[in-house]
Structure 1
């Protein structure tokens, strides 16, 4: 496995995409950076991180031999690999805030941004970007953010976490390659933050409403039980789960 270690870069996802434009990239090539100046999150958000204190990396995954009809399964297994990794380091009260934020209790400790490479109308590869708050302890103006060190009062070796994470990611991709979609979805849904609990949401127009998270579709839509027992599916641009 090739690991490219950088001191500073705008975005590890951008670096991998640019690398793919100039050379052949081996499966599971990893790019990690001590400092990421323009880290990206879901919905165009910025991932802010103190230099050298956290784990920021991107993984190139070749999907050319995988008949992947629903790309969201890559997101699901990435979330599950992260949960398994963090459990091995005894991080408590873990869950997935749809679609793939990792929480400890109700604090966000990890974000994921997956960008797919399309060739001939088929997903050829995924670039999986992960930002994990490890040893950073201050999060200015981010009341819902936390880190492994803040939660456990321990200092962690980011290289060790990366090694375990890649191992777990490989294991879950083997499950995906075996097309065990039902078991992946069941495991993912079991870890969903606020599943089957009364929750408040905000729609694209800024209006708030209540509902119960029930499941996700194969395409990654969040299925919410609304008033009058109506089950409605929402995509990422349509809905925000408020804590």
Structure 2
């Protein structure tokens, strides 16, 4: 496994994307950095982390075996690989806040940004960006953020975390390539934050409403049970789950 370590970069996803445009790179090539000047999250949000205190990296994976409507499988296997890794370090009460934020004790400890490359109307490869709050202990104006150190009281070594996470990512991608979609989806749904609990949501117009998270669709939409047992699907642009 090739690991490229940088002191700083604008974004590990951007760096890896540019590298893949210049040369042929192998599966599970990793770009890791101490600091990102332009770290990004879902929907154009910024990912902010202290230099040298957190694990920030991107992984290259060839995904031409997937169909267009199976893109959410990449999110699911990534979330499951992160959870399995963190469980192996005894991080408690792990869940997935749809689509792929990882929580511990209801606090966000990890974010994921996946960018897929398409060629001739087919999936080509995927760049999976992961940011884990590891040893940072102060998050200014981020009351819902936490870190592995805050939660466990331990200091973690980045290399150990990274190697184990890539191992688990390989395991879950093997399941995906073997087309074990149902098993992956069932395991992912078992970790859904606030599944089957009364929850409050906000739609794209700012209106708030209540419902119960039931599952995700085959394409990754969130399925919410509303009043009168109506099951409605929402994509990422349509709904926000409030705590």
Q: Could you state the TM-score of these two structures normalised by the residue count of structure 1?
A: 0.98
Structure 1 segment 193-232 matched on structure 2, within 5 A: 193-232=193-232
For the aligned residue pairs, the C-alpha RMSD in angstroms reads: 0.8
Are 1:240 and 2:237 an aligned pair?
no
Shift of 1:64: 2.5
Pairs within 5 Å for 1:149-160: 149-160=149-160
User: What is the CA–CA distance in structure 1 between the aligned matches of 2:104 and 2:27, rounded to whole Å?
Assistant: 30
| Count of residues in correspondence between the two structures | 243
Q: How does 1:174-189 map to 2 (within 5 A)?
A: 174-189=174-189
1:103 aligns to 2:103 (yes or no): yes
Q: Which runs of 4+ in 1 moved over 2 A?
A: 64-69
Instruction: Name the CA distance, whole Å, in 1 between partners of 2:121 and 2:217.
Output: 22
Q: Which moved more, 1:67-76 or 1:155-164?
A: 67-76
Query: C-alpha displacement at 1:66, in angstroms?
Result: 4.5
Gaps of 5+ in 1: none
Structure 2 gaps of 5+ residues are none
Q: Does 1:161 align with 2:147?
A: no
Cα distance in structure 2, aligned partners of 1:144 and 1:35? 21
Which residue is equivalent to 2:34? 34
Provide the C-alpha distance between the structure 2 equivalents of 1:65 and 1:80, rounded to a whole number of angstroms.
Answer: 20
Map 1:126-165 → 2, pairs under 5 A = 126-165=126-165
1:134 deviation in Å? 0.1
Residue matched to 1:85: 85
Length-normalised TM-score, structure 2: 0.98
**SS in structure 2 of the partner of residue 96 of structure 1:** strand
